[in-house]
Amino acid sequence: MNSSNAKLVGLFREFSIMDRLWVPAIVDLDDPAGEVRPYTRFVAIGTRSRSKYLVFHIDTETGQLRLGEQQTLELPTELTAEPSVEPRLLNLTSVFLDTDRVNSVVEISLYLDKDSDVESCLFRAAVLSIDDGRMIVLDPFWTTGIRIGGAWDREYIEQNSRTTGTLDIPVL
């Protein structure tokens, strides 16, 4: 195992248990209903017991997912500067994870293409396989930001994107 893969394995093992999934969002103050809209420039996963997050950002230069960890979640500056919206963090845990039990990530598949760089933690897409058979697919190449999906989204990435390979990392 090379040093980049070892770094990723260590990072993913640290975040193998997750019970929180967060994205930035806005409340449109001009909308009488106060509609909340996800602004998925990053997706953060974590646990209740830790104050650290595994964060998937959209890299501004390549459009790839950039993987990293953060102590705190900060809203994108472009949201905080806009007076007609109220920025928030939106908790999507109950939409994508089972909230009645611990969710263990058993494998993470990182899709690669010509712009990917494992050493810099840049990837075409990521799939987090959960121990109950579900998966969370993160695809940054959508006009609205990172698409968070499931099995169909994995098939879409495999069949319609120009991936050059997959790095599968067993976590448990």
Helices (H) and strands (E) in the chain, counts: 4, 13
> Domain residue spans in the chain?
3-94+102-170
User: Does residue 164 contact residue 111 with C-beta atoms inside 8 Å?
Assistant: no
Pairing relation of β-strands 103-112 and 85-91?
unpaired
Residue 56 vs residues 73, 93, 106, 156: alpha-carbon distances, Å:
12, 16, 18, 19
pLDDT in tens, 31-47: 889 889 999 999 999 88
Percent of the chain topping pLDDT 90: 45
145 Rama class: left (phi>0) / alpha (psi -120 to 50) / beta: left
pLDDT in tens, 70-117: 999 989 888 888 888 999 999 998 898 887 777 889 999 999 999 999
